[in-house]
Chains A and B, each alone.
Chain A
Amino acid sequence: EVQLVESGGGLVQPGGSLRLSCSASGFTFSSYAMHWVRQAPGKGLESVSVISGNGDSTYYVDSVKGRFTISRDNSKNTLYLQMTSLRAEDTAVYYCVRRTTGWWFDTWGQGTLVTVSS
């Protein structure tokens, strides 16, 4: 069974840091580009970062550039999102998502909640 399980969310103060992890199983992890998609409370979906299958290429939405770093360890089938200089507007559920070659998202994790508040 294809599965994605996120961890690492929690409460952090503004300006703080957090690292999210996503453990993948049931498929050849290195063959897929992976995204972090977030959803603020009561709001819609936003793809904030993506990394290619081999990790050579990354992309960030403007609002997180310079603050978030996406990475992956294909030997451990794990995706990461290092978040620094966190702001209140980063408060959201963060989903780890597998993207197909056809550019749709076919597998989603259960999500991990990040709350930035003093």
Chain B
Amino acid sequence: QSVLTQPPSVSGAPGQRVTISCTRSSSYVGAIYDVHWYQQLPGTAPKLLIYANDNRPSGVPDRFSGSKSGTSASLAITGLRAEDEADYYCQSFDGSLSAWVFGGGTKVTVL
């Protein structure tokens, strides 16, 4: 069981908005640190998409946005495009485990 829980999959039609949640598992206690998001296109290495909850690295389209509240975070993709079809992972630092942890990943499908 991952410390961070994500839905296995989400889908949407082109142009729609989808959101991916990232929630600290109830089996673990304490707050979560800043949350970061990565996009992994098929057959490639992960790429940083959002850092420190709601910041986009240079070159990442503003269609991607992040937010965090308490022990949950979310990634939103607006104006969904075919090239957004990928796996998305959230990541944080777990103070109780002293470990860098990832969510289980969410596959985004563009219908």
Contact = CB atoms under 8 A, between A and B. Distances in A.
Interface residues of B, number: 23
Nearest to B101: A47
A103 B104 CA distance: 19
A50 B105 contact: no
Interface residues of A, number: 20
B36 A45 contact: no
A58 B7 CA distance: 32
A108 B102 contact: no
A45 B34 CA distance: 18
Binding site secondary structure of chain B:
strand
A106 interface: yes
A109 B89 CA distance: 17
B98 A108 contact: no
Contacts, number: 54
B91 interface: yes
A95 B45 contact: yes
Given A103-B34, A106-B48, A111-B45, A61 B93 contact: no
A17 interface: no
B64 interface: no
B10 interface: no
B103 A44 contact: yes
Interface string A42-54: 0011110010000
A109 B93 contact: no
B45 A104 contact: no
A26 interface: no
A59 interface: yes
Contacts of B111: none
Contacts of A47: 99-102
9 contacts: A44-B2, A45-B91, A47-B102, A103-B100, A104-B51, A105-B46, A105-B48, A106-B48, A110-B45
Interface of B: 2, 33-34, 36, 38, 45-48, 51-52, 57, 89, 91, 93, 98-105
Interface of A: 35, 44-47, 50, 59, 61, 95, 99-100, 102-106, 108-111
